[in-house]
């Protein structure tokens, strides 16, 4: 079979190129094209670079993978050098997948040229593959961009992973951003998702006790993820005098939590059980005084039941 593959003519190679569109034979076509070695590169190059972008990305993604396996560095670099954003929104969305595939293929070469080509391409329009590939370089120059794309639902997890690989430098940049000393603007409504992710990363990276004062005011935010991430940091490194404020902030946002947020809140409260129960009793009394009764469908009341147990039910029946 190998001899038959090696003896393929241009027409047969073009048939394999056409098979890249097939849902059935597309993956096999990649394998057979790679088996052709250098003779397949001009055909794949023409398919990737000369063909117009389309709403279906998979065939050209397959071509990018094959070119990477064949070591076609110059072709892959040329893709980004000559890239122009399509005007059609559907084509642009599909082409994002191709750009990701080319970026992933290029990380075989961790050189200066590739890093800067990827960085420029991501600045023009970030994709998950571009952000993933940049993260693989472990370079501090990409940190501002990685923080910026934390706002992007399609790139956020790849950006987080990239920042984890340069955690200490990223931690310092995050603190400076919170202080308003970088180009990253976290104190505006449009940066909410970026702020959430930044605080969550700081919880992983660690915060110095003297940096807690930069974060404390986020306990007053309305967004549950922001408050939870801030409370998680403060419960670990904040001064003892701040703990009531930290736990009270968690109760304040606990009426409308999803199951994951509820679990996070419960975990933080359990780290300070006596204070949490004291605040829970106060909160329960305030709610009852306002005419509210326990409702186990509401996270707030489930959290109180978790903390107070039978005491909460006993007090409920005593006042009914």
Summarised one tens digit per residue, pLDDT across range 254-311 is: 999 999 999 999 999 999 999 999 999 999 999 988 888 889 899 999 999 999 987 8
Closest CA to 228 of 263, 176, 194: 263
Please check whether residue 267 is in contact with residue 259, taking contact to mean a CB–CB distance below 8 angstroms: no
**Confidence at residue 192, expressed as pLDDT on a 0 to 100 scale:** 93
Average pLDDT over residues 64-92: 94
Q: Tell me if residue 70 falls in helix, strand or coil.
A: coil
Percentage of the chain beyond pLDDT 70 is 95
- Is pLDDT at 3 greater than 50 in this prediction? no
Q: Full-prediction pTM beyond 0.85?
A: yes
pLDDT (tens digit per residue) in 82-132:
988 889 999 999 999 999 999 999 999 999 999 999 999 999 999 999 999
- Is pLDDT at 195 greater than 90 in this prediction? yes
**Confidence at residue 51, expressed as pLDDT on a 0 to 100 scale:** 76
Query: ∠ CA 102-104-109 to the nearest 5 degrees?
Result: 95
Exposure of 49 by Cβ count < 10 A (0-12 exposed, 13-18 middle, 19+ buried)?
A: middle
Q: Give the Cβ contact number of residue 43 at 10 Å.
A: 18
Which of the four pLDDT bands, split at 50, 70 and 90, describes residue 64?
very high
**Confidence at residue 12, expressed as pLDDT on a 0 to 100 scale:** 87
Please state at what angle helix 192-205 crosses helix 167-178, rounded to 10 degrees. 130
Structure tokens of 59? 């065939």
**Confidence at residue 54, expressed as pLDDT on a 0 to 100 scale:** 87
Percentage of the chain beyond pLDDT 90 is 82
Range with lowest mean pLDDT among 67-81, 174-188, 230-244, 274-288: 174-188
Please check whether residue 41 is in contact with residue 72, taking contact to mean a CB–CB distance below 8 angstroms: yes
What would you report as the CA-atom Rg of the chain, rounded to the nearest whole angstrom? 27
């Amino acid at each position: 079979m190998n001899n038959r593959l090696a003896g393929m003519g241009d027409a047969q190679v073009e048939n394999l190129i056409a098979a890249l569109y097939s849902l059935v034979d597309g993956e096999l076509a990649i394998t057979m094209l790679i088996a052709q070695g250098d003779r397949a590169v001009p055909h794949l190059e023409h398919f990737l670079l000369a063909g117009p972008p389309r709403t279906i990305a998979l065939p050209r993604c397959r071509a990018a993978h094959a070119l990477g396996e064949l070591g076609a560095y110059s072709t892959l670099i040329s893709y980004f050098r000559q890239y122009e954003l399509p005007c059609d929104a559907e084509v642009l969305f599909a082409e994002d997948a191709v750009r990701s595939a080319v970026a992933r293929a290029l990380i075989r070469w961790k050189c200066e040229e590739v890093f800067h080509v990827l960085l420029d391409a991501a600045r023009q329009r970030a994709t998950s593959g571009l952000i993933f590939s940049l993260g693989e370089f472990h370079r501090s120059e990409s940190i501002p961009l990685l923080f910026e794309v934390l706002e992007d639902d399609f790139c956020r997890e790849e950006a987080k992973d990239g920042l984890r690989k340069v955690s200490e430098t990223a931690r310092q940049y995050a603190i400076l951003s919170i202080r308003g000393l970088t180009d990253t603007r976290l104190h505006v409504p449009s940066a909410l998702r970026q702020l959430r992710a930044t605080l969550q990363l700081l919880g992983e990276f660690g915060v110095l006790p003297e940096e807690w004062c930069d974060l404390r005011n986020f306990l007053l935010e309305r967004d549950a993820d922001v408050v939870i991430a801030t409370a998680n940091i403060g419960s670990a490194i904040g001064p003892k005098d701040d703990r009531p404020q930290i736990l009270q902030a968690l109760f304040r946002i606990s009426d409308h939590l999803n199951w994951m947020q509820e679990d996070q809140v419960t975990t933080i409260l359990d780290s300070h059980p006596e204070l949490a129960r004291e605040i829970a009793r106060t909160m329960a009394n305030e709610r009852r005084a306002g005419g509210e009764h326990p409702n186990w469908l509401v996270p707030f009341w489930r959290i109180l039941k978790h903390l107070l147990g039978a005491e909460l039910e006993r007090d409920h029946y005593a006042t009914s």
